[in-house]
A and B are shown apart, each in its own frame.
Chain A
Amino acid sequence: QVTLRESGPALVKSTQTLTLTCTFSGFSLTTGGVGVSWIRQPPGKALEWLALIDWDDNQYYTTSLKTRLTISKDTSKNQVVLTMTNMDPVDTATYYCARTRTTPHWYLDHWGQGTLITVSS
């Protein structure tokens, strides 16, 4: 059974750095064709993909936020960490992590419950 769970601070202040941790089970990030993505959804808006780290430690980022994001993994702990610098109130959203299959195309087959991050000014 694949499960993912996001953890992080519920509230951050403007200009601070957000650190989110995704703890997963039921799969390994050493298996080919597998990765973990981060996605967010601001209230009332669409889903926005942020980043992916794959089994081979390749990292991919959405172009618009690339300079603010860092994704990393700890295979021994079954964790993926996302940091986002210089937080702003517009970054207020529910943040999800999701297992991502990268063959034959990238799609997200299991999602965490999400964590609401509020950024205060």
Chain B
Amino acid sequence: SYELTQEPSLSVSPGQTASITCSGDKLGNKYAAWYQKKPGQSPVLVIFQDAERPSGIPERFSGSNSGNTATLTISGTQVVDEADYFCQAWDSSTVFFGGGTKLTVL
């Protein structure tokens, strides 16, 4: 089994930069993806292959992955970005999710 650890919560003010981290053993040797999940909605892929943005995802979302930590950065955070964020990696033909970080923007 492979474990991904995220901080349970993060609070930022509108316009600030939010950095959400995901830790796992040698995570930098794998690819990471990130999903945004709002209440009552399906998850949305915001980053794949560590730093790639799917079409339609705003440029303020960026990602990095090195060592044991992957990071999702939201620059100029907006109120609409308030959501749960889950990291995801793949190891031994299994998908693993982090426990999620609740981002509050106020």
Query: Interface 1/0s, chain A 100-121, versus B by CB < 8 A?
Result: 1100111111111110000000
Q: B35, B93, B100: which contacts A108 (Cβ < 8 A)?
A: B35
Given known pairs A46-B86, A47-B35, the reply for A109 and B45 (CB within 8 Å) is yes
Cβ 8 A contact of A47, one of B31, B45, B86, B93: B86
Chain B residues touching A, majority SS: strand
A105 & B90 in contact (Cβ 8 Å cutoff): yes
* Nearest neighbor of B45 in chain A, beta-carbon distance: A109
Query: With contacts A63-B1, A107-B33 known, is A47 near B42, CB below 8 A?
Result: no
In this complex, how many residues of chain A approach chain B with their Cβ under 8 Å: the count is 25
Provide the main secondary structure of the chain A interface: strand
User: Closest approach, in angstroms, between the C-beta of A73 and any C-beta of chain B?
Assistant: 17
Evaluate contact between A47 and B97: CB separation under 8 angstroms: yes
19 interchain pairs (CB within 8 A)? A37-B95, A46-B86, A46-B97, A46-B99, A47-B37, A47-B100, A48-B97, A63-B94, A104-B31, A105-B30, A105-B33, A105-B48, A107-B31, A107-B33, A109-B45, A109-B48, A109-B54, A110-B45, A111-B42
